[in-house]
Amino acid sequence: MTLIKSISGIRGTIGGKVGDNLTPIDAVKFASAYGIWLKEQRNKENYRVVVGRDARISGEMIQNLVMNTLVGLGIHVIDLGLSTTPTVEIAVPMEHADGGIILTASHNPKQWNALKLLDAKGEFLNAAEGARILEIAEADQMTFAEVDDLGEITKNEAYMDIHIDEVLKMPLVNKKAIRDAKFKVVVDGVNSSGGIIIPLLLERLGVQAVKLYCEPTGHFPHNPEPLKEHLQDLSAMVVKEKAHFGIAVDPDVDRLAFVDEKGEMFGEEYTLVACADYVLSKTPGNTVSNMSSTRALRDVTEKHGGSYEASAVGEVNVVELMKKNNAIIGGEGNGGIIYPELHYGRDALVGVALFLSLLAEKEMTTSALRATYPNYYMGKKKIDLAAGMDVDGILKTMEERYQNEKLTTIDGVKIDFEKSWVHLRKSNTEPIIRIYTEALSQEEADALADQIISEIKAVANI
């Protein structure tokens, strides 16, 4: 597997050949490049970086390599240990640190890990900053600190609790209504950090949490991407326990999906729609999601008198457009909620608290709430890429083929039809082309995806 270097971080499979996988040598190399970049940016006497990890089997090994590499550069490290991506994001500014690193491969299977890199605001680096780090890494001319100037590691394992405290301080979290509703919720923590922090949050809100796969062993009991086909056990447990709904998060707890009281998917795309509906009902304003997200967010935003814009895919792109458009909530259709009231990062804890507040105030079932939103149906498929395949050429051919339709090319190719759309793009995190479609029925969405896949295969001679 080729080591993937992108704005989403440095990501690869554990073991194997240096430069082709995420080996110890690669972890040290890119941690070094990040540390040197940090010194270029900040130009000061002392440097501090917050480091945390999800529960992956390789997490402790990679974290120790990364932390001690920073120490070797004379950088002080605040070690959060087992943590979540949004927890590290809020810890960086609270610690007045110069940056942060999260060791997680998000929704990828257990053989993967990654270095996700943050700036001094606790936000992901932009493309130019990421490119500079890759340039430093490839130049391979690194100078480390002398013995009297080495950094130190300080442990701070309080940040999961601090993160929960910060979520509960948000004015729109209706703690009384949630407590009075006496919710019972099943949590699928995919045996990672979410299995610790989500039940703790629910307990603080007076919600009864039924735990499913909440031991942080790193042995994922199913594919960790929170999609319908991976959440059958959660659906069954919700029905068995007669719970109000179920919660699924990915290993680093920045994605959030719900299952209703009947064991049916609320719809990963509708996590953001529901949370935005609640926030906009209290504080009207604008919203942003990426180009691969449902039109339902646009509909809900306009219902509340706001305006909606779509960014290129990638959290950093969503955040940039949110700031530009003064969006009060945004995110991605993969269940990522970004609520600037707390921080500019996808945060499942924020999503859980806002969703519970909405459900408690509405006094309706989860399925009834879902029925209040516009019905769009999405298809999410992918094509695996062979080494050396001309992906840009394939996308250019598809663009030319549909030149008479409404096209957007800021991120791959998005083709807007009157009652449907399709978005084709290279993944930032895997060697694949992603094909997203949306239509007024699941059959239409799937048929459109299959049609486009057939056309791409014909173009690429797959």
Alpha carbon distance 246, 262 (integer Å): 10
Out of 8, 32, 106, 192, the active site residue is 106
Alpha carbon distance 331, 365 (integer Å): 24
pLDDT, tens only, 177-208: 999 999 999 999 999 999 999 999 999 999 99
Residue 459's pLDDT is 84
**Which residue in 334, 340, 277 sits closest to 304, CA to CA?**
277
Asked if the domains 4-157 and 163-370 are classified in one and the same CATH topology, the answer is yes
Structure token digits, residue 395: 């996308």
Residue 453's pLDDT is 92
Residue 313's pLDDT is 86
Residue 419's pLDDT is 86
Residue 167's pLDDT is 98
Sites in the chain below the pLDDT cut of 50? none
User: What residue spans define the domains of the chain?
Assistant: 4-157, 163-370, 377-460
Q: Which long-range contacts (CB under 8 A, 24 or more apart) does 452-460 make?
A: 452/398, 452/422, 452/424, 453/381, 453/383, 455/398, 455/401, 456/383, 456/394, 456/398, 456/424, 457/383, 459/394, 459/397, 459/398, 460/389, 460/394
CATH assignment, 163-370? 3.40.120.10
Name the CATH superfamily, with its identifier, for domain 377-460. Alpha-D-phosphohexomutase, C-terminal domain (3.30.310.50)
Q: Is 454 annotated as catalytic?
A: no
Residue 7's pLDDT is 60
pTM of the entire predicted model: 0.91
Residue 2's pLDDT is 63
- Does domain 4-157 fall under CATH 3.40.50.300? My reply is no
Alpha carbon distance 297, 308 (integer Å): 8
